Structure 1
Amino acid sequence: MSTVLLHIENGVAYITLNRPEKYNSFNRDMALTLQAHLDACEKDDNVRCIYITGNGKGFCAGQDLSEFPSPAEIDFEKVVREHYNPVISRFRNIEKPIVAAVNGVAAGAGANLALACDVVVANKSASFVQAFSKIGLVPDSGGTFFLPRLVGLQRASALMMLADKVTAEEAVNMGMIYRAYDDEMFEQESKRIAATLAQMPTIGLGLTKRALNQSYNNNLNQQLELEKELQVKAGRTEDFKEGVNGFLEKRKPEFKGK
């Protein structure tokens, strides 16, 4: 069976990391298959939201170190360049909303992959661990970029150096993730978020994502100029016209993602 499953339904692409016996830790096949699925979702106009979760008890435990014969034979340059960096780039550059539904432990690169998504939710039994320091490594997969911006430099430093386990509810309270749900409601609620996003104005959401990405580098004046440019593009969409008509006609608009 594939290491990454893809199922598309009602505008949502459901991507499931599928190595449950390894807590969905990454090997090369899994990384390349995920990239291929993301590329397909980007090109498919029927996909208006991407939902990523893990099969079994874990979301993703990071890199599967048992893939290599010994620590000395790990080609970190190749692994990071070919496996993880391309996934993070796709997460941020695909102009469709991506929901990470963290169903269990998210450790190392698995935690940082989740944090690179647009909306991150978890069940209350899930946890996040910056596990790199436990084996003498540096956080990768965008962790040193996203985590300080989410929780602040001081807290990010402590979490990365001490490798503390953060519960889902703690992650919500510190601004690391959006929401945590009771385990029995998690799948229903997380999929409800994806379904909602899939029925919203897709181009407008994608332009919002572009603006957020560029806000990391722009000063205020540059960001104001970018907002103006993107607002002009959004105002030319069919979904904007439908949204206005729905408001004026006192009905729920039916967005088409166009």
Structure 2
Amino acid sequence: MVADTAPAKLTATRDGRVLRVTITNPARLNAIDYATMAALGDVFAGAADDPGVRAIVITGEGKAFCTGADLSAMSGGIGPEEVMDCASRLVTAITATPVPVIARINGPAAGVGVGIALAADLIYAAESAYFLLSFTNIGLMPDGGTTALIAAAAGRAVANEMALLGERLPATAARDAGLINAVLTDAELDAQVDQAAEKLAHGPRRALELTKRALNATNLAALDAALAREKDGQVELLGSADFAEGATAMLQKRKAVFPG
């Protein structure tokens, strides 16, 4: 039973034909809680029914895009399965919404934040940005569809390195690997995002919808199965001793010591 009543930390505002969505938890580098994940899923799902929305831009407030799930999202009566279902619904809503989605990566994207970013159709990052799957560092596995999204964009080698080693991938390396579209200075980022958003917003909505659907059917055919596997694995790991140690070590700002 979902019992979380916390307010969602996001804004969604119309700018002409462009819907601009911002995660607003800068004090936590836009770590995302259950309420915000659910509300974001609603925003993207709702865009399908609004003919006035022709493009969506998602970003984070302040210096980060999204640094993953807030561990407190599993408090207040929300179980691991519900959290995983909510994250999967959000990623699916981004890929399924009929209008093109642009991710404005203004800083770090970590954990499920990587999934949110890579589910977008166009991804532009600031030079200061990086991508990080730190799950194995705390006894978990990647989720948010990243086990499929990274491999689909950059291949098995990059996916394995990010997922197994849990180290940062700088924006320039992500671009060189084909994971994102471009890396720009902070001053250039908004101009590029706005230019792309305006072009899409004044393009043929139905043609863009069918093009997006065709591209995703080919490139993201494995996404649904990946989300299901991630849920099963993550639910198991969230109840493990390794995760208990990893989470405690993270909160205590020390290196986790996993049993041999």
What code does the residue aligned with 2:58 have? I
1:28 matched to 2:11? The reply is no
2: CA distance, partners of 1:217 / 1:107 = 20
The structure-2 alpha-carbon separation of the partners of 1:68 and 1:194, relative to structure 1 and needing over 3 Å to count, comes to same
Deviation at 1:58, TM superposition (A): 0.5
Number of residue pairs matched by the alignment: 215
1: CA distance, partners of 2:125 / 2:110 = 13
Q: Deviations over 1:192-233 (max 9, x none)?
A: 211111111111111011111222488xxxxxxxxxxxxxxx
Aligned ranges for residues 1-258 of structure 1 at < 5 Å? 3-68=9-74, 75-81=79-85, 83-216=86-219
TM-score by length of 2: 0.78
The structure-2 alpha-carbon separation of the partners of 1:147 and 1:217, relative to structure 1 and needing over 3 Å to count, comes to closer
User: Are the equivalent residues in 1 in contact too, given 2:74–2:80 (CA < 8 A)?
Assistant: no
State the percentage of identical aligned residues.
Answer: 31
Gaps of 5+ in 1: 219-258
Deviation at 1:191, TM superposition (A): 1.8
State the SS of the aligned residue for 1:21: helix
Report what 1:244 is aligned to: none
Q: Deviations over 1:75-95 (max 9, x none)?
A: 3211111x2111111111111
2: CA distance, partners of 1:29 / 1:75 = 13
The structure-2 alpha-carbon separation of the partners of 1:74 and 1:47, relative to structure 1 and needing over 3 Å to count, comes to closer
State the SS of the aligned residue for 1:59: coil
Deviation at 1:68, TM superposition (A): 4.4
Deviation at 1:10, TM superposition (A): 1.8
2: CA distance, partners of 1:114 / 1:69 = 25
TM-score by length of 1: 0.79
2: CA distance, partners of 1:77 / 1:117 = 24
Cα RMSD after superposing both structures: 1.9
User: Are the equivalent residues in 1 in contact too, given 2:21–2:57 (CA < 8 A)?
Assistant: yes
